[in-house]
Structure 1
Amino acid sequence: MTALDAQPAIITLHEPPVIERNVSGASPFLLTCDHYGRLIPDALRDLGLPESERQRHIAWDIGIAGVAERVSKALDAHLIAQRYSRLVIDCNRPPDVASSIPSVSEATVIPGNEAISQAEADARRRAIFEPYHRRIKEAIDGRLAQDRPTVLISLHSFTPVYAGIARPWHIGTLYHRSTVLPHLLLSLLRDEGDLVVGDNKPYAVSDLTDYTIPVHGEARGLMNTGIEIRQDLIADEAEQTQWADRLTRMLREIETALITPQSSYA
């Protein structure tokens, strides 16, 4: 047991878990951002972590919020993002896997996650995970009911060094069963000439390690891809703007090439 063992079975949030932009946006792209924020509910007492750890990549996807906001505005695309730290509950993990509420992230022990009860885990899921994914489902339901083209883009960032191993990629596309959009995006990224591009790097999507793409993309038959940008390349506003501009240009090209009234969007 830890000093944080008496966690509440009902969690009160000081900010709603879901943040949205351009809810009525005209773009066929639906943007999601599972690790947009790093808030921690007051009742969890910072999970026993100092601020230095809560600022690190273990707590959120550094830099991706600024990129996501800019791409959403430029494309007039609906963005659905999640404000709370992935250390509270990871909204891109199935809730029944150990990494959903990690007791260790990279080499950092998370005291507030050690030996939590099922009731405590369920409280986090109800407060944060379920509202976020319910909102994504509702948005897709509404778009499909209106026969609107819908392409899911899941935006993430990754640390340049993990567990002592350097990652050379500047950006990667992530996918599993749906390959049309990721492969087209890979080709456009490689054509840029100045990028080291990852094909399912630094991660590959799977049903065991991911949630957003398998559940909201693949299970719904939507064209989809994950995008991972290295965090040291989007550390400030100028870099976030540069990458958002680059992605916006490519996504517009993809829209012209693939997203037509005759397309199945799958």
Structure 2
Amino acid sequence: MSLSDSNALIQAVEVSNPEGSGAALILCEHASNHFPAQFGDLGLQPADQNSHAAWDPGARAISLHLSQALDAPMVASQVSRLVYDCNRPPEVASAMPAVSELIEVPGNRDLTDDQRHQRVDMVYRPFCDAVSDVIKARNAAGLQTVLITIHSFTPVYYGQHRAVEIGILHDDDTAMADAMLANAPALPHRRVERNQPYGPQDGVTHSLRLHGLAHGLANVMIEVRNDLLRSPQEETTMAEELLTLIRPAMATLAQQGGDNA
């Protein structure tokens, strides 16, 4: 099967509200646990295909809600991160992990260079190209852009409970994260922390660096504990809570007159 034939069989990326003119761009790299037919199920059991290892439960729903509320474009991967993790560069092992926490991924063992390149070309590059296209269009239209990536995380990791409920993550550019954390008292019932449960040292800020920093955009990554996202109502509630942090933070950046607020 040629690459062009393979591409015809997979829709790797979803772009919602591309014409949105609000001052945000929403990314959701782990929106789906879909395993395209040409890759099979990677030898995973059904429970593992539905687990947090395969996707970020609730992240897409929150992303769509934010997209609508902020009139923002949303770009989301439509392929499981176990096929390719769009928040990782091609050269790292975690882009196509053979093990995710305690879950082994047989179909990712001993991948050839050609197999890795195929996944990069079919999953990662379409996602990156879609993000770049939206950014270029917004720049051409003279629109300000804050890049916001949405994720969820498991409450128990390697047997350890995580108390944090909302993580506000950043890399070198801290402006948006700082502004959001300054408003954290607006959610007194939530435990909101900086660079938790992950941080730059864990390699999770690839999208912030590639799509945010490299384009000079203010940026932030939001992590929500997925046991708080067990129903559509909980997803909506959390999205609205996040907006109480995002909206004033974006206003703060705009007032500061930053180039990208």
TM range (shorter): over 0.9
> Which piece of structure 1 moves more, 201-210 or 62-71?
201-210
TM-score, L = length of structure 1: 0.92
Q: Which runs of 5+ in 2 are unaligned?
A: none
* Structure-2 residue corresponding to 1:256: 251
Give the deviation of 1:192 after TM superposition: 1.7
- Between the aligned partners of 1:17 and 1:76, the Cα distance in structure 2 is 23
- Between the aligned partners of 1:188 and 1:207, the Cα distance in structure 2 is 26
Matched, 1:107 2:102: yes
Give the deviation of 1:207 after TM superposition: 9.1
- Between the aligned partners of 1:84 and 1:20, the Cα distance in structure 2 is 14
Matches within 5 A, 1:140-159: 140-159=135-154
Q: Which runs of 5+ in 1 are unaligned?
A: 1-7
| Partner residue of 1:224 out of 219, 226, 232 | 219
- Between the aligned partners of 1:15 and 1:247, the Cα distance in structure 2 is 32
Give the deviation of 1:173 after TM superposition: 0.5
* Structure-1 residue corresponding to 2:59: 64
| Superposed structure 1 runs of 4+ greater than 4 Å apart | 12-15, 206-209
Residues 221 and 124 from structure 1, CA distance in 2 versus in 1: closer, same or farther, beyond 3 angstroms? same
Give the deviation of 1:145 after TM superposition: 2.2
**CA-based RMSD:** 1.8
The question of whether the paired residues in 2 share the 8 Å contact of 1:35 and 1:61 is answered with yes
Amino acid corresponding to residue 126 of structure 2 in structure 1: P
Secondary structure at the residue paired with 1:91?
coil
- Between the aligned partners of 2:22 and 2:217, the Cα distance in structure 1 is 15
Matched, 1:92 2:78: no
Post-superposition Cα deviations, 1:70-92, rounded to whole Å, max 9, x if no partner, equal: 11111111111001000001100
Residues 261 and 169 from structure 1, CA distance in 2 versus in 1: closer, same or farther, beyond 3 angstroms? closer
Matches within 5 A, 1:21-170: 21-170=16-165
Secondary structure at the residue paired with 1:143?
helix
The question of whether the paired residues in 2 share the 8 Å contact of 1:30 and 1:150 is answered with yes
Secondary structure at the residue paired with 2:197?
coil
**How many residue pairs are counted as aligned between the two chains?**
259
- Between the aligned partners of 2:154 and 2:193, the Cα distance in structure 1 is 14
Amino acid corresponding to residue 77 of structure 2 in structure 1: Q
Matches within 5 A, 1:6-21: 10=3, 11-12=6-7, 14-21=9-16
Matched, 1:237 2:252: no
Give the deviation of 1:35 after TM superposition: 0.3
Matched, 1:171 2:166: yes
